[in-house]
Amino acid sequence: MTRALWAVLWVSVVSCTAVAADGSVEKPEWAAHFARFGATGTIVVVDERQVPSSTLVFNPERSTRRYSPASTFKIPHTLFALDAGVVADEFQVFTWDGVARSFAGHNQDQDLRSAMRASTLWVYQGFARQIGEAGARAYLRRLDYGNADPSASSGDYWVDGNLRISAVEQIAFLRGLYRNTLPFRVEHQRLVKDLMIKEATGDWILRAKTGWEGRYGWWVGWVETAKGPVFFALNIDTPGRLDDLPKREQVVRAVLGSMGLLQKQ
């Protein structure tokens, strides 16, 4: 084989397995999964099925850019509410106020499980009112969550306000939650993880939460396997608004599927 051909092959290998200063590996081939569904964005995957773990990233520049967490914030927000005592447990019922909202699943009494599953905004707006901005700021700083800024001139601070977090930071938060090492009671962390279950088989458990700000959307969570967890945080643009929302799960499932995950027997 000629030196020129060897050089071409070496450049190809390096370009596909470029290792960043933080040890993450860029995955340009995952562009095909985004293209398949017409999506633009980033995904960070931390695979702990082996030691040491590997951090895989598509679009690393965007992976460190902060965005409003939108409804992914319901994960830490539930921890805040439990810690503050504004909700006792998963059985407490929140009575619907009778105001008809655009999503039918919100127009009924709720508990923590249904509020997480249906992403019921009015339940969490109630938590925010009771916790207050100063309380939220203290919790955010304790958690070191994104920019830890719960201020807002109008609307909800986790959607319309100044709170921001990156995909990389979402992963750091999720890894702490998985290990019960966040600065909250272990039983509260275990409850939140239970509320996050989306699917389960005999081989894996998927815990995840979507989020949508209007201009962009999230899907974050992890897959638990016998060999260890695999964490993910996806952020994509949603210019088509509601029509683009299915792309969040579609892209993640395609990426994880290429890694042999979420496959049902």
Instruction: Based on the residue annotation, tell me whether 258 is a catalytic residue of this protein.
Output: no
DSSP state of 94: B
pLDDT tens digit string along 102-144?
888 899 999 999 999 999 999 999 999 999 999 999 999 999 9
Domain topology for 20-258: Beta-lactamase (3.40.710)
Between CA 230 and CA 258 the distance in angstroms is: 13
pLDDT tens digit string along 73-93?
999 999 999 999 999 999 999
Around Cβ 200, how many Cβ atoms within 10 Å? 11
- Give the active site residue among 24, 63, 68, 71: 71
pTM above 0.85, yes or no: yes
Between CA 249 and CA 221 the distance in angstroms is: 11
What's the distance, Cα to Cα, between the start and end of the chain in Å? 44
**For the chain, what are the domain ranges?**
20-258
Kindly report the average pLDDT of the chain as a whole number: 93
Between CA 209 and CA 265 the distance in angstroms is: 24
